Amino acid sequence: MRALLLGCCLLIVACGSEPQPPLVATDVEITATMPGGKMSAGYLSLRNNSDEAISITRVTSPEFEAVEIHTSFIEDGISKMRRSGELIIAPGNAVTLQRGGMHLMLMRPTGTSNDISLSFYDEKMLLLTVHTSITPRNN
């Protein structure tokens, strides 16, 4: 009986009862769409507190029809962007999505809500859901 109990405890530890959640988002900013526009950009930092690389392959939001992970780059002096595949965060590392670099492209708002939720998935499951508000455009 004792052996069985010990076995259960080990199993729980092995499954990762870590003090911190494996993936943490900070400094989340969602830009307002341009007047008449259909796109917002999302910036944030994602920290991987786990012992394994995290690969984000899909981001969704009920407030937008589509969310893509994009990379900005300069080509012939012009700032462009392309859709990038997965977003990989090494164990113990953080990745910052920011202006001029990787960002989230939030396309075609489904309504007029300023309250946004973003869900981050890997190949298998939901990793994290973040709730935030659109940052007002100051012009």
User: CA–CA separation, 58 vs 97, rounded Å?
Assistant: 15
Q: Which residues contact 125 (CB under 8 A, 6 or more apart)?
A: none
Give me the least distance between CB of 71 and Cu ion, in Å please: 8
The mark string for 54-73 relative to Cu ion (x by CB under 5 A, - otherwise) is: ----------------x---
For residue 81, state whether it binds Cu ion (rule: CB under 5 A).
yes
The site for Cu ion, by CB under 5 A, has a size of: 3
Residue with tokens 């859709």: 83
Q: Which of 105, 107, 122, 128 lies at the binding interface for Cu ion (CB under 5 A)?
A: 105
Stretches 4-12, 55-63, 77-85, 117-125: which one binds Cu ion (CB under 5 A)?
A: 77-85
* Residue nearer to Cu ion on the CB measure, 74 or 125: 74
What is the rounded distance in angstroms from the CA atom of residue 61 to the CA atom of residue 8?
A: 37
CB of 103 to Cu ion, least distance (A): 6
> Rounded to the nearest 5°, which phi and psi values hold at 100?
85, -5
3 state DSSP class of 74: strand
- The stretch near Cu ion (CB under 5 A) out of 1-9, 43-51, 98-106, 126-134 is 98-106
Q: Say if residue 4 is exposed, middle or buried (CB neighbours under 10 Å; 0-12, 13-18, 19+).
A: exposed
Q: Is 102 in the site for Cu ion (CB under 5 A)?
A: no
Per CB under 5 A, residues contacting Cu ion are: 70, 81, 105
